[in-house]
Every structure is written in structure tokens, then in C-alpha cells.
Amino acid sequence: MRKYARIERDALPSHLDAWIERYGVFAPMMRDGVRRFGVLSAGSDAQPGPWLTKVPVKEMFLPQTECLYRYRRGTNGGLEIETPQDPARLRLIFGVRPCDARALTLLDHVFRSTDRPDPYYCARRESTILVGIGCSEPRSVCFCTSVGGSPFGEEGLDVLLVETGGDYVAKALTLKGEALIAEMPEAAPEDTETLIAEARRHAEASMGDAVLTAGLKERLDSGFDAPLWDRIHEPCIGCGVCAFLCPTCHCFDLAHEADTRSVAGDAGRCVRGWDTCMFSLFTRQASGVNPRPSGKERMRQRLMHKFRYFVENYGEAACVGCGRCIANCPTACDIRETIARIDDAAEADSHAQET
């Protein structure tokens, strides 16, 4: 099968319509005033644009709330468990940005590559095709290149689209991707790779100063009790928007809800919902004891998890540099500045030890 194809801009809606006949297709759109992924009913409704969705593609695989199972007391006195089943139809998500696709490969470490994989997450991953669009216009808050990514990164995608001269070139990255573009006009491999490389160089050159993340884990290894944590958390109000809009944050809570139709209280459901270490109740125990009683401990946990613990467990940081936490923080907390302060504190401590 071919790995490279050309797509004229005017022909894109017809290709999307063809995909809609075969898959459940999702694309970026405005829903309730928020740009996020939603069902695409017609190719002409697609708005790929240069924008990153406010809500990451994460919610397509780890929904904000979902019922894991329902239960009820059976006639023999035992519990009967019913597990919801997603429709068997394959999904295609169009317009995924490289940072979001790479974030899914990080979530795979947690939900897909363990001894006990999450069946709900895995089923969605295995039944989904990801068609990405390279970021030709990175935002001022983007820093994907500082954490191992690129505006035209290919990791996690089945097809990468690159806009060139108003049209697109497509590069298939998996067998699913090759099958998807098989009937499109073919493009020369050398020309396509040259266009992708030029677009990548231009986009990366337009990004701001790099964030120094090399060696960050080692600086955090010895910085758990550093004085900087007493100050770094001060602007944070604990709203959790940074975690909820982060494509790699994945903490959740489980709640059991009684079925209000059951008078005897013998039926209900188990619901999983997003949670975050930035909330004050996240680690509070039934006894009332909370090992992270203030914003200091919670901010430290979030940064330690992303840049120390995740690196220890999986060999890479749990951050893709999408900049959502920076763009949406109501008190203008900037994770890039926080990393710089950690670097400065580590350097000052090193000088103090030398003298």
C-alpha cells in the first residue's frame, strides 16, 4: 500500500464523507462554547484550522465521567454485574495535533502496558484511527520541542497531514493509515518528506526559548525538601484546570451511586470520573488525616509526578509541552517559569555546597 498521498483542500470534505460512511468520525468543533472533539456528521462541517482544542483528545479514551459497571441484587441473593459495552464500530479522530497524539502514548504506559490493562481504555485505543495535522503555527505557550516532541511529530498517529500551499500531503505511519489513504492520489515520497522537513524546521524556528528539562529529574531527586516549594505554590488557587486540560494527567476517582429507582438500595452503578492531585480532598483519608494538607504539597506532587516519578517508571516525562495549563490558568501560573525556578534553586544549592 502507498504511504504518501496528496489531498486538495477542496477534496478534503469528500474524503471525510467517505470516512463517515465507514467509521464514526470525530473532529475539532465548538461545543457549548468550548473547542473539543465531537461527532462529525458531514465533511463540509470540518474546521481543521490552526487551533489546538481546549479539551485534549484524552477525553475520547478516558472520558471525564463513565459508568464502569452496574450492579443489582439477584434473585439468589448474589450480585449481578452488568458491564456497559461500547459500540463495535471503528472510530476515526480527525485533526489530532502531534502533542495530543504523543500524550496518548504516555497514557498507554499507565492503562495499556501494565499487568492489568484497563479494558475500557484499551478497547477505545484499539478501535480508533488517529489522523493528525501538523502544527504550522505553534502558539506562544507551546514548548513541545523541550520535552521530546515536535510540531510535526509522528508518534502515536496513523496518518500525519501537512498543509502546504493550501492543500495537504499525507504520510501514513501505520497499516491502518496506509489502508486509509490507499485510494487517494499518490505523492512522491521524496517530495513529501522534503515538505514535512521544511514545515518542521519553520515551525520549530518560530517557537520561543527552549525550556531546560534535561537533568530535571536529577534536580528533583534531591529537592523534595527544598525551600522553593514554600514559594512556588503561592499563586495557585487549586482549581484543577491545569490537570483537567492536560493531555497526560490521568488521576481518577471511583464513586458508587445508588439506583434511585431501587427502594431497597440493592442496585446501583460504579462511576469513574477525573480527579486531580491539586484538589484538597484528593488524599484526605476517612479519618480526616490529609498527607498533603496545603497547596505546597499538592504543587510539589504534581511536578514530581510529571518530571520525576513518571520518568522513574517509564523513562520519559509526563508532559508534552502543549501549553494548555499556561493558557488556561486563571492566576497565570507558568510551568516553564516553575521549571526555571527549580533550575535556579538547584544551581544556587550546588554553589552553596561548593563554598
Task: List, for residues 162-207, the tens digit of each pLDDT value.
Answer: 998 889 999 999 999 999 999 899 999 999 999 999 999 999 999 9
pLDDT on residue 348: 66
pLDDT on residue 349: 62
Q: Between residues 46 and 160, which one has the greater pLDDT?
A: 160
Distance CA 86, CA 201 (A): 41
pLDDT band at residue 243 under the 50/70/90 scheme: very high
Under DSSP, is residue 7 helix (H, G, I), strand (E, B) or coil? strand
pLDDT on residue 350: 56
Fill in the amino acid letter for 162.
V
pLDDT on residue 165: 82
Does pLDDT of 347 surpass 70?
no
Percent of the chain with pLDDT over 90: 79
% helix, strand, coil for the chain, step of 5: 35, 20, 45
0.85 surpassed by pTM: yes
Distance CA 227, CA 224 (A): 9
Among 13-27, 208-222, 235-249, which is the least confidently predicted range? 208-222
Does pLDDT of 355 surpass 60?
no
pLDDT on residue 262: 64
Please state the rounded mean pLDDT for residues 231-244. Answer: 95
On average, the pLDDT of the chain sits at 92
Please state the rounded mean pLDDT for residues 302-316. Answer: 96
Task: List, for residues 19-77, the tens digit of each pLDDT value.
Answer: 999 999 999 998 888 999 999 999 999 887 777 999 999 999 999 999 999 988 877 77
Q: Between residues 83 and 144, which one has the greater pLDDT?
A: 144
pLDDT on residue 333: 95
pLDDT on residue 264: 60
DSSP 19-83: HHHHSEEEEEEEETTEEEEEE---GGG----SPPPSS-GGGGTS-SEEEEEEEEE-TTSSEEEE-
Alpha-carbon separation of residue 6 from 21, 166, 197 (angstroms) = 21, 12, 16
Under DSSP, is residue 94 helix (H, G, I), strand (E, B) or coil? strand
Distance CA 7, CA 262 (A): 55
pLDDT band at residue 85 under the 50/70/90 scheme: confident
Q: Between residues 84 and 300, which one has the greater pLDDT?
A: 300
- The CA R_g of the chain, rounded to the nearest whole Å, is 23
Q: Where are the domains of the chain?
A: 4-59+84-205, 216-257+276-354
Ordered strands of the 24-31 beta sheet: 4-7, 167-172, 159-164, 128-133, 91-96, 24-31, 34-39
Helix axes 119-126, 98-111, angle to 10 degrees: 140
Of 334, 346, 349, which Cα lies nearest the Cα of 216?
Answer: 346
Query: Taking a C-beta distance cutoff of 8 angstroms, is the pair 192, 169 a contact?
Result: yes
Please state the rounded mean pLDDT for residues 263-272. Answer: 81
Considering Cα of 100, then 343, then 243, then 49, what sign does the dihedral take? negative
Beta bridge partners of 154: none
Does pLDDT of 115 surpass 90?
no
